[in-house]
A and B are shown apart, each in its own frame.
Chain A
Amino acid sequence: MKGFQPLFLGIFGIFGFSWLGMTVVPNLQIGSLNPQSDEEGTDIYPQPLSGMAARGAQVYAANGCFYCHSQQVRPDYGGSDLERKWGDRRSAPRDYIFEPVVFLGTMRMGPDLANVGHRPVLQEAGAATPAPSASPGAAAGASPAPAASPATGTSPAPAVAAATPATASPAPAAVAAASPGASPVASPPAANPPAGNASAAPPTMVAEPKELTDDGRPLPYTAAWHHRHLYNPRSVSEDSNMPAYRFLYEKRRIGGVAAPDAINFVGDTGNAPETGWEIVPSYDARCLVAYLMSRNQSHPLKEAKAAATTAAAPSPAKEVKK
């Protein structure tokens, strides 16, 4: 056996070298970062996710969203992420310290989502419309629900919302459900970090007053828009190849008052349920949207201002360790 000591030692040594170099040493460098805050210890970023958003991350993982959507913004020299308005600065290690699951992603069959919870603000601020969204108007004209199920809309069977009748029925109920007064209720789980502080709230604060377009359809990246998009991606983005997640929604008869978070089908008669029925998100769907609305790396970071570095200098901030 003696002659093989070098072989064994070599095999272990080489692997140990890689293990130390690629996992242990980097972990010493960026494995215990603290949130950043200002001198008074306020304006803390990042903050842990809300319970619903954290559960939403599990839904995101379970359905493999991360195989097509990355969550990292590269610097200006590394691609056109910034030009595509996927963020206003590059991502840094500190952005991820509270993430329950880190979905960096390796594929962009769908757009990057690192800042999808922040985009309503970008829009509100008059920034260029984010490229990825086909303008909601595109699908508005009662697009014939591409390849969906043009089932004869007769069976009122309360089955799963598999075959949504394609017969035109503008469904007044759905309109009611989508009235401006009602829809903000859908968004509270969105971006409210538990340790609420003034500056962490811009997405909701700005998004709240304006959730709908003038003709009653949800604006892109609002909670109502996400639900409609998840329920049928091609109703808001005509040539999307994202799968629909109708199994995260329930079709039910409207009892008395329409549910406040029922999907807003205004301008999308092809998918709307018959009169007297509504499509409501399951708890998982609401968690998923809460998670999406929590995707926001817009807060400035010291280390990510300069385009070139991801320095991991320990923040001088006070310890707010998770």
Chain B
Amino acid sequence: MSVSAELIQEAPLGDVEVTTSDVDRVERALIDASTRLPVLVFYTSAIVWLLLSTLFGILTSFQIHSPDFLTDVPFLTWGRIRPVHLDALIYGWASMAGMGSAIWLMARLCRTTLRHPLLLISGAVFWNLGVLMGIVGILAGYNTGYEWLEFPGYSAVTLFVAYLLIMTWALIMFRYRRRGHVYITQWYLLGAFLWFPWLYASAQVMMFVFPVEGVMRGAVNWWFANNLLFLWFGSIGLGTAYYMIPKVIGRPVHSYYLATIGFWTFAVFSSWTGMQRLIDGPFPAWMITASIAAMILTIIPVATVGLNHHMTMRDHFPLMRYSPTLRFTVFGAISYTAFSIVGVIISLRSMAQATQFTEAWMGYNYMGLYAFFTMVIFGSMYYIVPRLVGREWRYASLIKLHFWGSTYGIGLMVLLLLVGGFVQGLDLNDATMPFNDTVQTILPYLRGRTLSWILLTVSHGIFAFHFGLMLLGFGRTASVPTFLNPLEGRSGGGH
């Protein structure tokens, strides 16, 4: 570890541009051009899945308080569209968009043009196929019965093959990187690329191929889900934020030392979480206690990463007024801190008595998947897509609508689910309250959630439309990026 830390410190500025020499600019343009097709394939697929997930999300939300809606259509029954919504969000949107950004970042940070694009494109094709088969499988009634792992076996195998292609590409890129430039983002990305296959394969093997006995499947299930949230989405999201924030404001990360500590503590502690979702369940107490302890310890990486970002951003917060990338990314980075703190709170035994088995956990999931990860990825897309298509975003107003729709949508949803979940939990623990009454108390919150889904639907529709314009070449031809607000005599900073 110390060796790596030194290596990093040798190149304290990483890829952050302090020189704008023409050579560098040409080099970056070449790299960007080489990533165009693969990254756009990933992004486009991801956005299609996002729209699908949104459609199923709003249906899911609506049906839970209006259970008679579409109840006679077997493949649209609530218990089938709910996993489709979440799996399309996890495997379709978040994973593909995250990989798209990761691919671009890898090429940029390895400072080499993208090699073997066919590996990536076939990876994307297989991944799409895997998600599609999984979703059709769930709708047709082949849910495996484990949350986050609902896709039937044939879909899982396809996803895994797709993943191996993508990972092979990442390792090749890393092998051919230009020496001397290893940035903290690459640590996170490399971690994510290497952790995912082990995680996914061991979960599939232990759950379905050679299934472990009884409740161990529940343990593996939540070990997988939480690690997917942290080691896969967390790594990609944090790595992306570590690139975008310094890049946009044009100054290096505040402290590499903190970044190193943050990375290793993040990996060690967050990989032990998961069992806190099963507090007082049928498990040896030590497993659950270990996860709660690990969850509490994740405060260390969260604090280091948060502090680092904050210190980097210091004095530059006003730039969020102009740069869409910065606005989304900083929102996501702050959400990561909030997500982790909420995670710690609802994992404490005393709190878990009230929040266990309630919507609060859904609120927590959405904080991680959406408020943190999705927002960071939106930010990176606003940065990357113009560099791929050679045009700038067409309408600042659409970006603003997208931002506020997503912000208010997810904010409202998380608030409703956390508060509603807490109320629901207190009611459940009051044994004198008839069960149906506990459901009745949460329904108003769930109706509110449908409202938040309407906001998110509008916001995603706008984003997809805007992205479509860019894809079809209707972006602005301009030498300056699209700012959210006209620059008021500011110079520098930039996109």
Contacts and interface: CB of A to CB of B under 8 A. Distances in A.
Interface stretch (A20-28, A184-192, A201-209): A20-28
A131 B431 contact: yes
Contact of B358 (A12, A58, A67, A108): A108
A258 to B, nearest CB: 24
A176 interface: no
Contact of B72 (A68, A146, A247): A247
B474 interface: no
Nearest to A304: B282
Given A93-B283, A241-B65, A33 B214 contact: yes
A97 B147 contact: no
Contacts of B145: 57-58, 60-61, 66, 101, 103
Nearest to B194: A11
A70 B357 contact: yes
A99 B78 contact: no
Contacts of B83: 64, 67
A11 B141 contact: no
A107 B359 contact: yes
Interface residues of B, number: 90
Contacts of A8: 190, 194
Interface stretch (A78-86, A117-125, A214-222): A78-86
A107 B359 CA distance: 7
Interface stretch (B38-46, B127-135, B242-250, B267-275): B267-275
A147 B268 CA distance: 52
A15 B79 contact: no
Contacts of A26: 216, 219, 283-284, 287
B430 interface: yes
A109 B431 CA distance: 15
Given A61-B143, A66-B145, A240-B436, A78 B68 contact: no
B314 interface: no
B396 to A, nearest CB: 40
Interface stretch (B1-9, B104-112, B462-470): B1-9
Given A64-B80, A241-B64, A14 B271 contact: yes
Contacts of A60: 145
Q: How large is the interface on A (under 10, 10 to 19, 20 to 34, 35 or more residues)?
A: 35 or more
Interface in B285-317: 285, 287, 290-291
Contacts of A96: 214-215, 218, 282
A11 B198 CA distance: 11
A27 B280 contact: no
B77 A245 contact: yes
A256 to B, nearest CB: 28
Given A64-B82, A240-B436, A90 B282 contact: yes
B191 interface: yes
A157 interface: no
B122 interface: no
Interface string B182-215: 1000010011001100110010001000001111
Contacts, number: 252
Interface string B438-449: 111011000000
A104 B215 contact: yes
B331 interface: no
Contact of A79 (B202, B220, B428): B428
Given A22-B272, A239-B440, A241-B443, A95 B223 contact: no
A156 interface: no
Contact of A64 (B143, B278, B285, B291): B143
Nearest to B79: A64
A213 interface: no
Interface in B146-162: 146-147
A3 B268 CA distance: 21
A36 interface: no
Given A64-B79, A108-B428, A131-B435, 5 more contacts: A11-B267, A18-B223, A93-B282, A95-B282, A147-B66
Interface of B: 1-4, 7, 63-68, 71-74, 77-80, 82-83, 141-147, 175, 182, 187, 190-191, 194-195, 198-199, 202, 206, 212-220, 223, 227, 231, 264, 267-268, 271-272, 274-275, 277-285, 287, 290-291, 353, 356-359, 361-362, 428-431, 433-436, 438-440, 442-443
Interface of A: 1, 3-4, 6-8, 10-12, 14-15, 17-19, 21-23, 26-27, 29-33, 57-58, 60-68, 70, 72, 74-75, 77-80, 83-84, 90-99, 101-111, 131-132, 134, 146-148, 160-162, 233, 237, 239-247, 309-312
Which 3 pairs from chain A and chain B are nearest by CB? A64-B79, A78-B280, A61-B145
